[in-house]
Amino acid sequence: MYDASTNPDGQFPVNMAENNLSWPDLKERIEQAISFKEIPKWVSNYTGMGGSSEFLEAVSSFMSTHLTGCTIKQERILTSAGATAVLELASWILCDDGDAVGIPAPSYPVYSQDFGNKSGLVRHDIVTYEDLINNDGFSNLTIKHLKKARTAVKKSGKKLRLLVLTTPDNPTGCLYTQGQLEKISDWCIKKKVHLLVNELYGLSMIHTNHPDIKDDYKEEMAFTSFAQIMKRKKSGYLHMSYGLSKDLGISGFRMGVIHSFNESFLKAYANLNAPHLVSNLTQWALTDVLSDQDFMSHYIIKNQARLTTNYALVIKYLKKLRIPYLPARGSLFVWLDLSVYMKRNSKKAEHELWQNVYDTTGLLLTPGEGFGHKKRGQFRFVYSFLQRDVLEEGLKRLSNFVNNLS
Ligand SMILES: Cc1ncc(COP(=O)(O)O)c(C=O)c1O
């Protein structure tokens, strides 16, 4: 890792999908939660197979107040050790080995393992655009894309059983609008395709009215949770996942949530969740922190301000360097296009460019391969892993690199 005084030749890992910006605030509150209280007896025992009732109450109330804007009943959520466990177990229950899962591309590469390793699902990437278009931070997935995907999957002899949407998205930071989600839900219900909306980055929103980025957006749009549609439709085909790895920057705590109105699914999930439980000690500490409404409200506001500052800094440099990018509305990422610096549109050329950026600047980007998009030369840049001054040093090196190539 780069450090101005101790390691000026160090690297900049902008590939880690983690938020380190607000940990000092949270650390202090967690220390307060566990330092001065006697550990209750239940912590040492087995608890419910989706979490202890105290924890589920705290999580459902936290989600209702801060994320979903509608009441999530505690009996409609279950918790597991991270969103990864949630995605794996949910897909194992909802689908059969060999089914296809539709995922709009570009998207999180590790979905391939989450849905493939144990559930045996085949990833079907739904590419909705070829080049970076000025899409104003919204996904442009339509029913036409879904119909095409279903037909292609059918032709390959498989069944499209699951559609997974991430909002805000990894890596584009795009949002799905309520109107769009409503139409997609109706289509999924009609076609008996399970729809899982992953809101893991739901509170990691950027202030799009920041002076350095506001020209990228035609309108401001607050995050609106899929939970509101689920509550209205109460369909067994609609599900939502959440977790604290990103919005609270505590991926090491391992805490994920599934929310559904499908009673049989929830029963099966609880039945199979024993290997994935969140440790009771973690449940106990987080119950205290999540129930502190005042603290959490302030935390979310400060965290979003920090995310916005770092995001705007990256965009300032990309604009100066004329590097195309998709304007994000949330998440921890910028999806950018360096393809003009490749001689060919090939995996090899993308890999060479990625290696060249790393060797020359120390910036470790994530190459586009694996995100399911056809066009090579696109990369993911995480702006929340490094503190502002370190991030700026990395961006200065990227500027030198690009200016030397131009
Ligand atoms: C879209 C998405 N889902 C799931 C995960 C995994 O989350 P967790 O650490 O809670 O398992 C990530 C992590 O990067 C992610 O980006």
Shared domain check, 241 and 114: yes
Please report the DSSP string for 363-398 in residue order. Answer: B-PEESTTS--SSSSEEEEESSSS-HHHHHHHHHHH
Q: Find the CATH number of the domain harbouring 337.
A: 3.90.1150.10
Q: How many whole angstroms separate alpha carbon 269 and alpha carbon 160?
A: 21
Q: How far is the CA of 341 from the centre of ligand 1 (A)?
A: 30
Shared domain check, 256 and 300: no
Q: Is the pLDDT of residue 134 over 70?
A: no
Closest by CA position to 172, among listed 101, 105, 73: 105
Q: Which of 292, 313, 343 is the C-terminal boundary of a domain?
A: 292
- Ligand 1 pocket test: pick from 200, 201, 244, 333 the residue with the most ligand atoms within 8 Å of its Cβ: 200
Q: How many whole angstroms separate alpha carbon 27 and alpha carbon 6?
A: 25
pLDDT at 37: 87
pLDDT (average), residues 283-305: 97
Which tens digits make up the pLDDT trace of 3-32?
999 999 999 999 999 999 999 999 999 999
pLDDT at 360: 96
Shared domain check, 275 and 328: no
Domain assignment of residue 66, yes or no:
yes
pLDDT at 182: 98
- Ligand 1 pocket test: pick from 246, 282, 380 the residue with the most ligand atoms within 8 Å of its Cβ: 246
pLDDT (average), residues 157-172: 98
pLDDT at 323: 96
- Location of structure tokens 């005084």: 5
Closest by CA position to 14, among listed 361, 385, 396: 385
pLDDT (average), residues 27-51: 94
Q: Is the pLDDT of residue 113 over 70?
A: yes
pLDDT at 54: 95
- Mean per-residue pLDDT of the chain: 96
Domain assignment of residue 120, yes or no:
yes
Shared domain check, 214 and 342: no
Q: Is the pLDDT of residue 366 over 80?
A: yes
User: Tokens in use for 260?
Assistant: 């559904």
Local confidence band at 235 (pLDDT 50, 70, 90 cut-offs)? very high
Q: Domain of 185?
A: 41-292
Instruction: Say yes or no: CB of residue 170 within 6 Å of ligand 1.
Output: yes
Shared domain check, 325 and 288: no
Shared domain check, 323 and 284: no
Cβ(133)–Cβ(92) below 8 Å: no
Domain assignment of residue 399, yes or no:
yes
Helix 293-320 and helix 23-35, axial crossing angle in degrees, nearest 10 = 160
Domain assignment of residue 127, yes or no:
yes
Local confidence band at 145 (pLDDT 50, 70, 90 cut-offs)? very high
Shared domain check, 368 and 280: no
Shared domain check, 196 and 48: yes
Local confidence band at 136 (pLDDT 50, 70, 90 cut-offs)? confident
Local confidence band at 130 (pLDDT 50, 70, 90 cut-offs)? confident
Position 41, amino acid: K
Residue 254 Cα: closest atom of ligand 1: 10
- Ligand 1 pocket test: pick from 59, 84, 167 the residue with the most ligand atoms within 8 Å of its Cβ: 84
Intra-chain end-to-end CA distance of the chain, in Å: 28
pLDDT (average), residues 275-295: 97
pLDDT (average), residues 117-134: 89
Shared domain check, 311 and 237: no
Please work out, in degrees rounded to the nearest 5, the angle formed at the alpha carbon of residue 92 by the alpha carbons of 91 and 96: 95
Instruction: Say yes or no: CB of residue 256 within 6 Å of ligand 1.
Output: yes
pLDDT at 321: 97
Q: How far is the CA of 405 from the centre of ligand 1 (A)?
A: 35
The residues, any chain, with a CB within 8 Å of residue 5's CB and separated by 6 or more, are none
Q: Which of 292, 311, 338 is the C-terminal boundary of a domain?
A: 292
Report how many domains make up the chain: 2
Domain assignment of residue 271, yes or no:
yes
Domain assignment of residue 29, yes or no:
no
Shared domain check, 257 and 133: yes
pLDDT (average), residues 90-98: 98
Cβ(276)–Cβ(81) below 8 Å: yes
Please report the DSSP string for 20-77 in residue order. Answer: -SSHHHHHHHHHHHHHSSPPPGGGGS---BTB-HHHHHHHHHHIIIIIISS---GGGE
pLDDT at 257: 98
Instruction: Say yes or no: CB of residue 104 within 6 Å of ligand 1.
Output: no
User: Tokens in use for 38?
Assistant: 């006697």
Q: How far is the CA of 16 from the centre of ligand 1 (A)?
A: 11
pLDDT at 87: 98
Q: Whose CA is nearest to atom 14 of ligand 1?
A: 17
Position 146, amino acid: L
The proportion of the chain whose per-residue pLDDT surpasses 70, expressed as a percent, equals 100
**Cβ contacts of 289-296, under 8 Å, gap ≥ 24:** 289/26, 289/29, 289/30, 289/33, 290/58, 290/59, 290/61, 290/62, 291/58, 291/61, 291/62, 292/29, 293/65, 295/29, 296/62, 296/65, 296/66
Instruction: Say yes or no: CB of residue 105 within 6 Å of ligand 1.
Output: no
Helix, strand, or coil (residue 267): helix
Tell me 345's DSSP state.
Answer: S
Q: Which of 242, 262, 292 is the C-terminal boundary of a domain?
A: 292
Shared domain check, 180 and 45: yes
pLDDT at 135: 76
pLDDT at 7: 96
- Ligand 1 pocket test: pick from 18, 91, 110 the residue with the most ligand atoms within 8 Å of its Cβ: 110
Phi, psi of 379 (to 5 degrees): -135, 155
Q: Find the CATH number of the domain harbouring 101.
A: 3.40.640.10
Domain assignment of residue 33, yes or no:
no
pLDDT (average), residues 53-58: 97
Instruction: Say yes or no: CB of residue 255 within 6 Å of ligand 1.
Output: no
pLDDT at 322: 96
pLDDT at 55: 97
Residue 86 Cα: closest atom of ligand 1: 11
pTM of the model: 0.97
Shared domain check, 388 and 244: no
Instruction: Say yes or no: CB of residue 251 within 6 Å of ligand 1.
Output: yes
Domain assignment of residue 19, yes or no:
no
